[in-house]
Chains A and B, each alone.
Chain A
């Protein structure tokens, strides 16, 4: 059976998903319409799984599709839909170009079952007890998102900012400079570790990351045992040449015993194309009646030793490192408490709670369901969404928060609510968003320019979209801000523009649970020109 087209199809589909998914994160000019996001990401396993619970609708069934696909065809999710998986394939493909043919070969390895099922088990148990923290750290889609957000996008913006001033000199303004907001170094820790691990493993060991660290890979691997289509050796045709094994990035082809470890197979179809004899097939179970006849051929034992080598020094280091990493993060996850009164004495802005984006219901809901994929950070047109440092506690590092020093929430914008793939931020219509109170503005008179300098300022009231912050008479010609809690939505425009330093005269304290704000009152106004047809001068 000539099935070479299967591999080509896999490559095309995987690049399609990789490019589309990457673009969502790299769209620093916000040109991609919000409606496309959920379509592109609907099949991402962990986000779709979480969204099933946050949205509570059967319409969110992406993860069920993935489960069905796996039961039919094996782990094609890992080979085509998972952006981190495909990214590893791309890295491995490029790195093998620089290797000699011999060095570029993959070899059969035993499965690291203890490690992968331990990670899967802890993640699942944590999930049952309501902690999504391990999913945040290990979800391949979210890790891919962070790699794009923290490494690739800044590079792209940097190149953009290099060329835009040059083009401006010849009056071409198609490219324009884009602000890169500074991010705390601690936020980079997890993305750096994951990126390093993924790069190192994909260069040296193919898909080992997916078969040891990734809980989604381990879970879908278990399902793959029961998949309809499977890879099989044709024991009559196979000569034991090991070409399939050399091409197998999952290291799951045991040529000696002529078995395929389907729990690790990512269904890449590379073995099909590598076999010159057509001895490898991808068929349903029915077609495999001759299964039991297969016997290991003794001669081939020597072959394996020759190709495989029997000692691997990197193995132990890797396992130890992974276990230490796992132990470390479970320790961290215990400390998941968002911070109250972080710096009560040194900072006059008394913020009790961080602000979470509109649509996230409460700090609890948001931190429980956000896997910190950072997509909303990239999609936010005002840069108000920034990765948290310690605002949600140690475990909340990287989860987005409304940073009013960086920007403020645009009154008419609901982009983050529409792009969030997990439902940590639930979709909101514009009108509904405009009455969601994420926090409350607090005015500190003693810091205000009008009080200290006795000159007018009013920047806060200027920017307030509801006039919850407005100016009232103070002295003589002076007006001073006053706040109205009923209509304040906590967008942070007032805090962002307040010119006082180092402490703001007006700031927003987050609502632990979002409230409903009243709509601003409207009144009929007179036209001063109505009385006369003449000019008032």
Chain B
């Protein structure tokens, strides 16, 4: 996609969404589920990762609402660490597989999955189970291990982060789905969807060196936002994150958040974790920079218990 096309499309989508939102107050006029009644967020509890996603995406209007025929979809899980899935340092592989399947059912031309990992990427892809599950659903694993894949973009609204190199897949694809796992984090307290995007850029050290929380919020203002955010809170690492030390760090919560707003996703996930979202500095900053909404009371949330 050319940059001009991209801006035009973004503007179009924005106008469309604006129109839909302006009609929002009239949704009581229509009976039953319709485009107007779609929630801003679906929160699910009590199911397996794939089942919870089925329910959540249905509530959000189905995958067809996000993926159109012939589109190129990129899915960004957290595959940062070379640890087995049950340690919950990486996104649940079953959930990723389900998302890939939904994309193809909605008519996607191809579904690509990648992460710029912390540990050696080949081992992370393999040992997280994600490579195997993605391939079983006809998805394609793409490397993110060399700078050559990354293109520099400018962040007009960034305070500390003015320029950043982003993986070309994120820039090229029609649909971008962010699938973080909720877990504790040494430096940022929690890592959820905004922090997960540190895996689509090249130079993470720069962020650490230049006010990590501000950089996370800065990148959340980038115009190429995820079209869909799915927070995996099935197994949750409560301490020693983001890598974790043993299985005893993990608690089975069986929860999931699906939305389009990263700030709202992170706020809801923080509450599930038992933490006030406003106490997480990057969530607060991102809200202040209008990257999304931290105030969940302002959202139309579909709450699903299985």
Q: Does chain B have a CB within 8 A of A463? A: yes
Query: If A173-B140, A381-B123, A457-B209 touch, does A537 touch B296 (CB 8 Å cutoff)?
Result: yes
Among the stretches A33-41, A90-98, A524-532, the one at the interface with B is A524-532
Q: Give Cα distance in the complex from A171 to B113, angstroms.
A: 12
Q: Does chain A have a CB within 8 A of B281? A: yes
Beta-carbon contact of B186 and A410 below 8 Å: no
Shortest distance between the CB of B294 and any CB in chain A (Å) = 11
Query: If A477-B281, A500-B209 touch, does A381 touch B245 (CB 8 Å cutoff)?
Result: no
Beta-carbon contact of B213 and A455 below 8 Å: yes
**For B112, what are the chain A residues with a Cβ–Cβ distance below 8 Å?**
171
Q: Scan A405-445; emit 1 where CB is below 8 A from any B CB, else 0.
A: 00100111100000000000000000000000000000000
Q: Does chain A have a CB within 8 A of B132? A: no
Shortest distance between the CB of A358 and any CB in chain B (Å) = 16
Beta-carbon contact of B143 and A177 below 8 Å: yes
Beta-carbon contact of B186 and A466 below 8 Å: no
Q: Does chain B have a CB within 8 A of A382? A: yes
Query: If A464-B243, A523-B248, A525-B239 touch, does A536 touch B143 (CB 8 Å cutoff)?
Result: no
Report how many A-B pairs have Cβ atoms within 8 Å. Answer: 138
Q: Does chain A have a CB within 8 A of B32? A: no
Among the stretches B56-64, B93-101, B265-273, the one at the interface with A is B265-273
Query: If A410-B123, A529-B253, A529-B272 touch, does A459 touch B248 (CB 8 Å cutoff)?
Result: no
**For A382, what are the chain B residues with a Cβ–Cβ distance below 8 Å?**
119-120
Q: Give Cα distance in the complex from A46 to B127, angstroms.
A: 36
Q: Scan B243-255; emit 1 where CB is below 8 A from any A CB, else 0.
A: 1011011011101
Beta-carbon contact of B145 and A176 below 8 Å: yes
Q: Give Cα distance in the complex from A271 to B209, angstroms.
A: 69
Beta-carbon contact of A465 and B245 below 8 Å: yes
Beta-carbon contact of A526 and B242 below 8 Å: no
Q: Give Cα distance in the complex from A419 to B30, angstroms.
A: 69
Query: If A177-B145, A522-B248, A525-B238 touch, does A461 touch B212 (CB 8 Å cutoff)?
Result: no
Q: When the two chains form the complex, which single residue of A381, A457, A526 contacts B212, counting CB atoms closer than 8 Å?
A: A457
**For A171, what are the chain B residues with a Cβ–Cβ distance below 8 Å?**
110, 112, 140
Q: Give Cα distance in the complex from A96 to B4, angstroms.
A: 62
**For B127, what are the chain A residues with a Cβ–Cβ distance below 8 Å?**
412
Q: Does chain A have a CB within 8 A of B301? A: yes
Beta-carbon contact of A499 and B148 below 8 Å: no
Beta-carbon contact of A462 and B253 below 8 Å: no
Enumerate A509-537 residues with CB–CB distance to B below 8 Å.
Answer: 520, 522-529, 533, 535-537
**For B271, what are the chain A residues with a Cβ–Cβ distance below 8 Å?**
535-537
Majority secondary structure of chain A interface residues (helix, strand, loop or mixed): loop
**For B273, what are the chain A residues with a Cβ–Cβ distance below 8 Å?**
528
Q: Give Cα distance in the complex from A523 to B249, angstroms.
A: 8
Q: Does chain A have a CB within 8 A of B115? A: no
**For B118, what are the chain A residues with a Cβ–Cβ distance below 8 Å?**
462-463, 497
Beta-carbon contact of A471 and B122 below 8 Å: no
Q: Give Cα distance in the complex from A455 to B216, angstroms.
A: 13
Q: Does chain B have a CB within 8 A of A458? A: yes
Q: Give Cα distance in the complex from A525 to B246, angstroms.
A: 12
Q: Give Cα distance in the complex from A173 to B141, angstroms.
A: 8
Beta-carbon contact of B240 and A467 below 8 Å: yes
Q: Does chain A have a CB within 8 A of B305? A: yes
Query: If A176-B143, A453-B211, A535-B45 touch, does A526 touch B251 (CB 8 Å cutoff)?
Result: yes
CB-nearest residue of chain A to B140: A173
Q: Give Cα distance in the complex from A161 to B145, angstroms.
A: 12
Query: If A165-B148, A536-B272 touch, does A529 touch B45 (CB 8 Å cutoff)?
Result: yes
**For B214, what are the chain A residues with a Cβ–Cβ distance below 8 Å?**
455
Q: Does chain A have a CB within 8 A of B261? A: no
Q: Give Cα distance in the complex from A237 to B139, angstroms.
A: 72
Query: If A173-B140, A525-B238 touch, does A455 touch B82 (CB 8 Å cutoff)?
Result: no
Beta-carbon contact of A462 and B187 below 8 Å: yes
Q: When the two chains form the complex, which single residue of A165, A173, A465, A536 contacts B243, counting CB atoms closer than 8 Å?
A: A465
CB-nearest residue of chain A to B114: A173
Q: Does chain B have a CB within 8 A of A22? A: no
**For B242, what are the chain A residues with a Cβ–Cβ distance below 8 Å?**
462
**For B2, what are the chain A residues with a Cβ–Cβ distance below 8 Å?**
none
Q: Does chain B have a CB within 8 A of A179? A: yes
**For B249, what are the chain A residues with a Cβ–Cβ distance below 8 Å?**
525
Binding site for B on A (CB under 8 A): 29-30, 165, 168, 171, 173, 176-177, 179, 381-382, 407, 410-413, 449, 453, 455-459, 461-467, 470-471, 477, 479, 497, 499-500, 520, 522-529, 533, 535-537
- Pairs A-B, 10 closest by C-beta atoms: A458-B187, A528-B274, A499-B205, A455-B211, A522-B248, A461-B186, A499-B209, A176-B143, A458-B186, A177-B146
Question: Can you report 20 residue pairs joining A to B where beta carbons are below 8 Å apart?
Answer: A168-B149, A173-B141, A173-B143, A176-B143, A176-B145, A177-B145, A453-B210, A453-B211, A455-B211, A456-B187, A462-B118, A471-B187, A479-B187, A497-B118, A497-B205, A500-B209, A524-B248, A529-B45, A537-B43, A537-B271
Q: A171-B112, A179-B146, A381-B120 are in contact. List 16 more A-B contacts (CB 8 A).
A: A173-B143, A177-B146, A381-B123, A412-B127, A453-B211, A457-B187, A457-B208, A458-B186, A458-B187, A458-B188, A462-B118, A471-B187, A500-B209, A526-B251, A528-B274, A533-B305
